[in-house]
Chain A
Amino acid sequence: MKKSGKAGGILADAALLLYFAFSLAPVVFIVALSLKSNADQTSTYLRFAPTFANYRTVLGLGAGDSPYLRFFVASLICAVGAVLVSLVIGIPAAYAAARHRFRGSESLLFTLLSFRFAPELVVIIPLGVLYQQLGLYDSYVGMIWVLQLVTMPLVVWILRSFFTDLPAELEQAALLDGYSRRQAFVRIVLPLVRPGVAAVCLLAFIFAWNNFIFPFTLTSSHAQTVTVSSLAFLGGNQVRFNLVAAGAVMAVLPPLVLALFIQRYLVRGLSFGAVKA
């Protein structure tokens, strides 16, 4: 699009390389560290004999027991649960907000948006006390319930922008063809926004998976997630840096892999539909 000479192009490429070196070096570092043996872990060089021993230890495959796998499963249960619940509740709400201007629709949307910007501790402090009384502390149900705060606004805001993009005439045509409202929604509307729903699912999963403060304050062992346990690895009197690194790599892998599938929808997702792409 822009033509500003060969020298400008080389300069731009150099600047890009510099940024991406900054951006990717920490990832290369952590992967390298996770593959180092105990003897190599304090050497800063990239020349070493890679070993998967740390991953085996973290997963509890070798000698000794590791709770990491349990935390991993807990993360999966909590994140998937939160996504499912917010889809079931969020899809109708998003559709209602896109198709009808009803009393309170804007305040509902704004309340949901404010969840995104409110500091989490505002609800964690009373929830912690409440959870202790209700027996929800350190439970999957309790975790899924608070992770809603993270996933629901995402689902409603993004899907609303997908629903708004669909012409209402499509449904009217379906109704004229004898479909009921529900049939029109399930057979016509939903299939058309399916890519959007898929993208929202993955994005919501990533947000729920990456959350730290809710599981950190509202779980102790049973429902503890990988983000919390990764931090615990750093504690203790004998820090094994290579183990910490292996745990971190595994905690990053699921969101990173999923992100590859939703790259197209990332802009709309990250900005809650405020910038369409």
Chain B
Amino acid sequence: MTATPRWRRRLRPYLLAAPAVLLCVGILYPFFVGVAYTVYNFSDANREPSFVGLNNFADILGSDALWHSARVTVSFAVAATAAETVLGVGVALLLHRSSLLGRLLERLLIVPLMVAPIIAAIMWKLILLPEVGWVRPILSAVGVHGYRGTDGAGAAFFWSVVVDAWLYTPFVAILALAGLRSLPNSPFEAAAVDGANWWLTFRRLTLPMLWPYVLVAVIFRFMDCLKVFDIIYGLTAGGPGDATTTLQISAYLEAITYARYSRGMTFMLILWVVVYAISFVLVRYLGRVQNRAAGISAGPSAGAQAGAPAGAAAGAEAG
């Protein structure tokens, strides 16, 4: 160890990280090329683009299409994340009771999560088809008639949220369950001795202590929902009309279907900036919550602190 010269020791981490840095640079290059597109009018029809300044931004920010897709995207992200959080935390709480049935079913929790989103969309498309699927017979069994799959605008949106919730509720549940299992026992024992009922314990103890864990899931889900593509494309392709045209679908239509690269890239850049800003705020909030949680559980019983704040939050906080 002493034989290694100082400069080599100082250099070591840089050498180890160099290939990853190169990879980042390799991806940043096309990214910046793409950013450059936004000030040209580059498209398949216009292979020799001319400089148009901020016209693309002015065009797109002034168009109804952007604001419509932004509304669809945010509604989808809020609805899906909320559904997954409530369902996921609920399932985690139920599994945490550890009944025999719970232990048996827990192994099956991850099954939807391993299905590729596009395959999930295809599966659900088949289920929702009035001719072959199970939804129509189930609905008519409970007395709901006139089911037409994803034909209506409201129905298309609703089923997109259902498919996302089907796929990702296990994600929230797995993280929440891990959180529940790492909570210290003593506060709950104390609450039981004091005779606190289930609801009070849940609201005053379980939920606040669990929140740092659930928050990680919420942030991951919300960010992913803002850039949803596979599920919507596979299920409704953005339709009917533009009812489920999210920002990524709009950008895809612009850039790939109509081959208007500059407009598509401008769409994407606007979404990217928004996602980046939101993720920055959320990750800071996560860092604060996790630090506070660590502060609470530090002290004499710090040994029991299995789920210390870590990883993503700390790293992103500095970024």
Given known contacts A100-B13, A230-B122, A277 and B178 CB-to-CB distance under 8 angstroms: yes
Which A residues are CB-close (under 8 A) to B226? Answer: 119
| Cα of A43 to Cα of B276 in the assembled complex, Å | 47
| Cα of A95 to Cα of B102 in the assembled complex, Å | 38
Q: Is A188 an interface residue (CB 8 A)?
A: no
| Cα of A234 to Cα of B128 in the assembled complex, Å | 14
| Cα of A172 to Cα of B1 in the assembled complex, Å | 9
Q: Which of B71-129 contact A (CB under 8 A)?
A: 87, 90-91, 94-99, 101-102, 105, 107-120, 122-127, 129
User: Which residue in A24, A129, A176, A212 is a CB contact (below 8 Å) of B111?
Assistant: A24
Q: Is A4 an interface residue (CB 8 A)?
A: yes
Which A residues are CB-close (under 8 A) to B137? Answer: 44
Chain B: CB-nearest residue to A4: B198
Contact B261 A129, beta carbon cutoff 8 Å: yes
User: Which residue in A104, A118, A152, A241 is a CB contact (below 8 Å) of B23?
Assistant: A152
The total of Cβ contacts below 8 Å across the A-B interface reads 317
* Chain B proximity of A157: nearest CB distance (Å): 6
* Chain B proximity of A137: nearest CB distance (Å): 13
Contact A266 B19, beta carbon cutoff 8 Å: no
Q: Which of A59-87 contact B (CB under 8 A)?
A: none
User: Which residue in B16, B101, B133, B311 is a CB contact (below 8 Å) of A274?
Assistant: B311
Q: Is A166 an interface residue (CB 8 A)?
A: no
Which B residues are CB-close (under 8 A) to A209? Answer: 116
Chain A: CB-nearest residue to B24: A111
Chain B: CB-nearest residue to A129: B261
Q: Per-residue 0/1 for A139-181: is the Cβ within 8 Å of any B Cβ (1 yes, 0 no)?
A: 0000000001100100011001100100000001001100001
User: Which residue in B37, B102, B264, B313 is a CB contact (below 8 Å) of A121?
Assistant: B264
* Residue among A33, A127, A231, A267 with max Cβ neighbours from chain B (10 Å): A267
| Cα of A41 to Cα of B91 in the assembled complex, Å | 33
Which A residues are CB-close (under 8 A) to B217? Answer: 271
Q: Is B174 an interface residue (CB 8 A)?
A: yes
| Dominant secondary structure at the B interface | helix
Given known contacts A19-B91, A109-B319, A206-B114, A271 and B220 CB-to-CB distance under 8 angstroms: yes
Given known contacts A33-B132, A248-B123, A105 and B13 CB-to-CB distance under 8 angstroms: yes
Given known contacts A130-B30, A234-B125, A272-B311, A22 and B134 CB-to-CB distance under 8 angstroms: no
Which A residues are CB-close (under 8 A) to B19? Answer: 88-89, 92-93
Q: Is A57 an interface residue (CB 8 A)?
A: no
| Cα of A172 to Cα of B2 in the assembled complex, Å | 12
Q: Per-residue 0/1 for A4-21: is the Cβ within 8 Å of any B Cβ (1 yes, 0 no)?
A: 100011001101110110
Contact A102 B13, beta carbon cutoff 8 Å: yes
Chain B: CB-nearest residue to A16: B94
* Residue among A26, A118, A128, A244 with max Cβ neighbours from chain B (10 Å): A26
* Chain A proximity of B182: nearest CB distance (Å): 7
Chain B: CB-nearest residue to A9: B99
Contact B318 A110, beta carbon cutoff 8 Å: yes
Chain A, interface residues (CB within 8 Å), range:
35 or more
Q: Which of B127-154 contact A (CB under 8 A)?
A: 127, 129, 131-134, 136-137
| Dominant secondary structure at the A interface | helix
Which B residues are CB-close (under 8 A) to A275? Answer: 175, 178-179, 213, 216, 307, 310
Which residues of B approach A to under 8 Å, CB–CB?
1, 4, 12-14, 16-17, 19-21, 23-24, 27, 30-31, 33-34, 37, 87, 90-91, 94-99, 101-102, 105, 107-120, 122-127, 129, 131-134, 136-137, 166, 169-171, 174-175, 178-179, 181-182, 185, 188, 198, 213, 216-217, 220, 223-224, 226-227, 229-230, 234, 247-248, 251-252, 255-256, 261, 264-265, 268-269, 271-272, 275-276, 279, 286, 306-308, 310-313, 315-316, 318-319
List 19 other contacts, CB 8 Å, given A25-B134, A102-B13, A122-B31: A16-B102, A19-B90, A19-B91, A100-B12, A102-B17, A110-B318, A121-B264, A123-B31, A129-B33, A130-B30, A130-B33, A152-B20, A252-B115, A267-B174, A267-B178, A271-B312, A274-B310, A274-B313, A277-B178
18 A-B pairs within 8 Å (CB atoms) are namely: A9-B99, A16-B94, A23-B169, A27-B112, A92-B17, A92-B20, A110-B316, A121-B255, A121-B264, A121-B268, A123-B31, A217-B252, A227-B119, A252-B116, A259-B110, A266-B110, A274-B310, A277-B307
